[in-house]
Amino acid sequence: MAAVTAAEDKSTYMPEALYLHHDEMFETSATVVEVGTAQIKQKTYYWIRLDQTIFYPQGGGQLSDIGTINDVPVDYVHRVNSGVRDIFQITHCFEKPIDFAVGSKVVLKVDAANRLLNSRWHTAAHVIGHIIETTFAQFKPFGGECFPGQAHMKFRSEVDQFPSIGEVQDAVKEGYARLLQENPPIRICSESMTRELVIGKFPPVGCGGTHVYSIKEIGKELTAVGVKCSRKKGEFTMSVKYSVAS
Protein backbone atom coordinates (compact mmCIF):
# COMPACT_ATOMS: atom_id res chain seq x y z
CA MET A 1 0.00 0.00 0.00
CA ALA A 2 1.20 3.50 -0.78
CA ALA A 3 2.08 5.76 2.11
CA VAL A 4 0.18 9.04 2.20
CA THR A 5 0.60 11.93 4.59
CA ALA A 6 -3.01 12.85 5.33
CA ALA A 7 -2.28 16.52 5.89
CA GLU A 8 -0.73 16.80 2.40
CA ASP A 9 -3.41 14.97 0.45
CA LYS A 10 -4.93 17.45 -2.03
CA SER A 11 -7.12 15.06 -4.02
CA THR A 12 -10.39 16.64 -5.13
CA TYR A 13 -12.27 13.32 -5.10
CA MET A 14 -15.07 13.34 -2.54
CA PRO A 15 -17.14 10.33 -1.48
CA GLU A 16 -20.88 10.52 -1.04
CA ALA A 17 -21.27 11.35 2.66
CA LEU A 18 -24.49 9.47 3.35
CA TYR A 19 -24.53 10.46 7.03
CA LEU A 20 -25.32 14.05 6.00
CA HIS A 21 -28.78 13.02 4.79
CA HIS A 22 -29.30 9.64 6.46
CA ASP A 23 -27.77 9.89 9.92
CA GLU A 24 -29.95 7.03 11.17
CA MET A 25 -28.58 4.65 8.51
CA PHE A 26 -26.25 2.20 10.23
CA GLU A 27 -25.51 -0.36 7.51
CA THR A 28 -24.81 -0.15 3.80
CA SER A 29 -22.35 -1.28 1.13
CA ALA A 30 -19.65 0.63 -0.72
CA THR A 31 -16.75 0.22 -3.13
CA VAL A 32 -13.10 0.66 -2.13
CA VAL A 33 -11.48 3.40 -4.23
CA GLU A 34 -8.12 3.81 -2.49
CA VAL A 35 -5.95 2.19 0.18
CA GLY A 36 -2.87 3.37 2.03
CA THR A 37 -1.13 4.14 5.30
CA ALA A 38 -0.77 7.47 7.08
CA GLN A 39 0.49 9.16 10.20
CA ILE A 40 -2.56 10.74 11.84
CA LYS A 41 -2.24 12.40 15.22
CA GLN A 42 1.19 10.81 15.72
CA LYS A 43 -0.17 7.33 15.10
CA THR A 44 0.23 5.04 12.09
CA TYR A 45 -3.02 3.84 10.56
CA TYR A 46 -3.87 1.56 7.66
CA TRP A 47 -6.75 3.13 5.77
CA ILE A 48 -9.25 2.82 2.97
CA ARG A 49 -11.41 5.33 1.14
CA LEU A 50 -14.78 4.50 -0.35
CA ASP A 51 -17.13 5.79 -3.01
CA GLN A 52 -19.71 6.42 -0.28
CA THR A 53 -19.85 6.12 3.49
CA ILE A 54 -22.18 6.23 6.48
CA PHE A 55 -19.25 6.80 8.88
CA TYR A 56 -19.06 10.28 10.39
CA PRO A 57 -15.45 11.55 10.37
CA GLN A 58 -14.18 13.31 13.46
CA GLY A 59 -14.61 17.07 13.22
CA GLY A 60 -16.74 19.99 14.29
CA GLY A 61 -16.09 19.03 17.89
CA GLN A 62 -17.73 15.61 17.46
CA LEU A 63 -15.98 12.25 17.80
CA SER A 64 -15.85 9.98 14.77
CA ASP A 65 -18.05 6.95 14.37
CA ILE A 66 -16.74 3.48 15.08
CA GLY A 67 -18.00 0.19 13.70
CA THR A 68 -16.84 -2.40 11.18
CA ILE A 69 -16.09 -2.79 7.49
CA ASN A 70 -16.42 -6.42 6.41
CA ASP A 71 -16.43 -7.22 10.15
CA VAL A 72 -13.00 -5.59 10.62
CA PRO A 73 -13.15 -2.98 13.44
CA VAL A 74 -12.84 0.63 12.28
CA ASP A 75 -10.79 2.44 14.93
CA TYR A 76 -11.07 6.03 13.70
CA VAL A 77 -12.55 8.00 10.80
CA HIS A 78 -10.55 11.00 9.62
CA ARG A 79 -11.61 13.95 7.50
CA VAL A 80 -8.95 15.37 5.18
CA ASN A 81 -9.67 18.80 3.74
CA SER A 82 -8.46 19.17 0.16
CA GLY A 83 -7.92 22.92 0.05
CA VAL A 84 -10.96 23.21 -2.22
CA ARG A 85 -14.09 24.48 -0.50
CA ASP A 86 -16.58 21.74 0.43
CA ILE A 87 -14.34 19.03 -1.04
CA PHE A 88 -12.86 16.59 1.45
CA GLN A 89 -11.71 13.01 1.86
CA ILE A 90 -13.07 10.54 4.40
CA THR A 91 -10.43 8.09 5.54
CA HIS A 92 -11.48 4.94 7.41
CA CYS A 93 -8.60 3.98 9.69
CA PHE A 94 -7.48 0.66 11.15
CA GLU A 95 -4.77 0.07 13.74
CA LYS A 96 -3.88 -3.36 12.31
CA PRO A 97 -2.90 -4.29 8.73
CA ILE A 98 -5.86 -4.78 6.41
CA ASP A 99 -6.52 -6.66 3.20
CA PHE A 100 -8.91 -4.61 1.08
CA ALA A 101 -8.47 -4.34 -2.68
CA VAL A 102 -9.35 -1.30 -4.77
CA GLY A 103 -12.60 -2.03 -6.58
CA SER A 104 -13.86 -4.55 -4.03
CA LYS A 105 -17.31 -4.31 -2.46
CA VAL A 106 -17.47 -3.98 1.31
CA VAL A 107 -20.19 -3.89 3.97
CA LEU A 108 -20.21 -0.96 6.39
CA LYS A 109 -21.75 -1.19 9.85
CA VAL A 110 -21.76 1.81 12.18
CA ASP A 111 -21.98 1.22 15.94
CA ALA A 112 -25.51 2.59 16.47
CA ALA A 113 -25.23 2.98 20.26
CA ASN A 114 -22.01 4.97 19.93
CA ARG A 115 -23.52 7.15 17.17
CA LEU A 116 -26.55 7.88 19.37
CA LEU A 117 -24.32 8.83 22.30
CA ASN A 118 -22.29 11.25 20.19
CA SER A 119 -25.44 12.65 18.58
CA ARG A 120 -27.02 13.35 21.98
CA TRP A 121 -23.97 15.24 23.24
CA HIS A 122 -23.60 17.11 19.94
CA THR A 123 -27.24 18.20 19.92
CA ALA A 124 -26.85 19.25 23.56
CA ALA A 125 -24.05 21.60 22.49
CA HIS A 126 -26.47 23.43 20.19
CA VAL A 127 -28.98 23.71 23.03
CA ILE A 128 -26.35 25.07 25.44
CA GLY A 129 -25.30 27.59 22.80
CA HIS A 130 -28.85 28.81 22.31
CA ILE A 131 -29.62 29.06 26.04
CA ILE A 132 -26.46 31.02 26.84
CA GLU A 133 -26.83 33.34 23.85
CA THR A 134 -30.46 34.17 24.62
CA THR A 135 -29.88 34.57 28.37
CA PHE A 136 -26.62 36.52 28.21
CA ALA A 137 -26.97 38.46 24.96
CA GLN A 138 -23.37 39.72 24.94
CA PHE A 139 -22.05 36.17 24.47
CA LYS A 140 -22.00 34.42 21.10
CA PRO A 141 -20.98 30.75 20.63
CA PHE A 142 -17.89 30.15 18.52
CA GLY A 143 -16.77 26.58 19.07
CA GLY A 144 -16.11 23.83 21.54
CA GLU A 145 -16.11 20.06 21.83
CA CYS A 146 -18.98 17.67 22.48
CA PHE A 147 -16.95 14.61 23.45
CA PRO A 148 -19.03 12.63 25.99
CA GLY A 149 -17.72 13.25 29.49
CA GLN A 150 -15.49 16.18 28.53
CA ALA A 151 -17.77 18.49 26.55
CA HIS A 152 -17.65 22.27 26.59
CA MET A 153 -18.95 25.20 24.56
CA LYS A 154 -17.01 28.42 24.02
CA PHE A 155 -18.51 31.90 23.88
CA ARG A 156 -17.08 35.29 22.92
CA SER A 157 -18.12 38.76 24.05
CA GLU A 158 -17.05 42.32 23.25
CA VAL A 159 -18.04 43.38 26.76
CA ASP A 160 -16.01 42.73 29.91
CA GLN A 161 -18.98 41.46 31.85
CA PHE A 162 -19.26 37.83 32.90
CA PRO A 163 -22.13 36.00 34.62
CA SER A 164 -21.37 33.97 37.73
CA ILE A 165 -21.19 30.19 37.55
CA GLY A 166 -24.45 30.08 39.50
CA GLU A 167 -26.19 32.30 36.96
CA VAL A 168 -24.96 30.11 34.10
CA GLN A 169 -26.02 26.92 35.87
CA ASP A 170 -29.47 28.30 36.65
CA ALA A 171 -29.94 29.51 33.07
CA VAL A 172 -29.06 26.09 31.63
CA LYS A 173 -31.16 24.19 34.18
CA GLU A 174 -34.24 26.37 33.72
CA GLY A 175 -33.85 26.70 29.96
CA TYR A 176 -33.50 22.97 29.45
CA ALA A 177 -36.45 22.24 31.74
CA ARG A 178 -38.63 24.47 29.54
CA LEU A 179 -37.39 22.77 26.39
CA LEU A 180 -38.03 19.32 27.85
CA GLN A 181 -41.60 20.31 28.57
CA GLU A 182 -42.11 21.78 25.10
CA ASN A 183 -40.06 19.02 23.38
CA PRO A 184 -39.76 20.90 20.07
CA PRO A 185 -38.84 18.93 16.95
CA ILE A 186 -35.28 18.90 15.67
CA ARG A 187 -34.71 18.70 11.94
CA ILE A 188 -32.12 19.14 9.23
CA CYS A 189 -32.83 21.74 6.56
CA SER A 190 -30.97 21.52 3.26
CA GLU A 191 -32.99 24.04 1.29
CA SER A 192 -30.06 26.45 1.05
CA MET A 193 -26.49 25.67 0.00
CA THR A 194 -25.67 25.11 3.68
CA ARG A 195 -26.86 22.13 5.71
CA GLU A 196 -28.60 23.64 8.73
CA LEU A 197 -29.88 22.33 12.05
CA VAL A 198 -33.23 23.70 13.20
CA ILE A 199 -34.40 23.14 16.79
CA GLY A 200 -37.99 24.28 17.25
CA LYS A 201 -38.03 28.06 16.81
CA PHE A 202 -34.26 28.45 17.27
CA PRO A 203 -32.50 30.28 14.42
CA PRO A 204 -31.03 27.78 11.91
CA VAL A 205 -27.37 26.90 12.49
CA GLY A 206 -25.04 25.49 9.86
CA CYS A 207 -23.80 22.06 11.00
CA GLY A 208 -22.35 18.93 9.40
CA GLY A 209 -22.68 16.68 12.44
CA THR A 210 -25.19 14.04 13.52
CA HIS A 211 -28.11 14.75 15.85
CA VAL A 212 -31.10 13.36 17.69
CA TYR A 213 -34.54 14.51 16.58
CA SER A 214 -36.28 15.60 19.76
CA ILE A 215 -35.15 17.36 22.93
CA LYS A 216 -36.17 14.38 25.07
CA GLU A 217 -33.74 12.16 23.17
CA ILE A 218 -30.85 14.27 24.50
CA GLY A 219 -31.53 13.16 28.06
CA LYS A 220 -33.36 13.92 31.28
CA GLU A 221 -30.84 16.50 32.41
CA LEU A 222 -28.48 18.97 30.77
CA THR A 223 -26.20 20.58 33.32
CA ALA A 224 -23.52 23.27 33.25
CA VAL A 225 -20.86 21.77 35.50
CA GLY A 226 -18.15 24.40 35.14
CA VAL A 227 -17.40 27.85 33.77
CA LYS A 228 -14.04 29.36 32.83
CA CYS A 229 -13.71 33.03 31.94
CA SER A 230 -10.77 34.63 30.16
CA ARG A 231 -9.64 38.19 29.45
CA LYS A 232 -6.81 38.33 26.92
CA LYS A 233 -5.80 41.25 24.72
CA GLY A 234 -9.25 42.78 24.81
CA GLU A 235 -10.99 39.48 24.06
CA PHE A 236 -13.52 38.18 26.55
CA THR A 237 -14.30 34.48 26.32
CA MET A 238 -16.22 32.01 28.43
CA SER A 239 -16.08 28.21 28.32
CA VAL A 240 -19.04 26.28 29.71
CA LYS A 241 -18.42 22.63 30.53
CA TYR A 242 -21.59 20.57 30.41
CA SER A 243 -22.88 17.08 31.11
CA VAL A 244 -25.82 15.07 29.80
CA ALA A 245 -27.73 12.54 31.89
CA SER A 246 -29.83 9.90 30.17
* Cα distance between residue 159 and residue 184, in whole Å: 32
Residue 84 CB burial class (10 angstroms; 0-12, 13-18, ≥19): exposed
Same domain for 130 and 76: no
CB 64 within 8 A of CB 55: yes
Same domain for 62 and 85: yes
Of the residues 110, 140, 157, the one at which a domain ends: 110
**H/E run at residue 215:** helix 215-218
> What's the pTM value of the predicted model, to 2 decimals?
0.90
Q: Is residue 21 one of the residues assigned to a domain?
A: yes
Number of domains, the chain = 2
What is the model's pLDDT at position 60? 87
Same domain for 193 and 138: yes
Of the residues 69, 88, 110, the one at which a domain ends: 110
SS3 per residue for 1-21: CCECCHHHCCCCCCCEEHHHC
CB 21 within 8 A of CB 65: no
pLDDT tens per residue across all 246 residues of the chain:
344 444 344 455 679 999 988 888 999 999 999 999 999 888 999 999 999 999 999 998 999 999 999 999 999 999 987 766 667 889 999 999 999 999 999 999 999 999 999 999 999 999 999 999 999 999 999 999 999 999 999 999 999 999 999 999 999 999 999 999 999 999 988 765 678 999 998 999 989 899 999 999 999 999 999 999 999 988 899 999 999 998
Same domain for 99 and 146: no
Same domain for 16 and 49: yes
Sorted by sequence, the CB contacts under 8 Å of residue 37 that are 6+ apart come out as 1, 2, 3, 4, 44, 45, 46, 47
Same domain for 240 and 209: yes
What is the model's pLDDT at position 27? 98
Same domain for 104 and 119: no
What is the model's pLDDT at position 87? 72
Q: Is residue 128 one of the residues assigned to a domain?
A: yes
CATH number of the domain enclosing 226: 3.30.980.10
Same domain for 239 and 179: yes
Same domain for 89 and 158: no
Same domain for 222 and 125: yes
Q: Is residue 37 one of the residues assigned to a domain?
A: yes
Distance of CA 30 to the CA centre of its chain: 23
Query: CA 27 → CA 64, 76, 91, distances in Å?
Result: 16, 17, 17
Same domain for 119 and 58: no
CB 56 within 8 A of CB 19: yes
Q: Is residue 1 one of the residues assigned to a domain?
A: no
Same domain for 126 and 106: no
Q: Which domain holds residue 165?
A: 115-245
Of the residues 110, 127, 147, the one at which a domain ends: 110
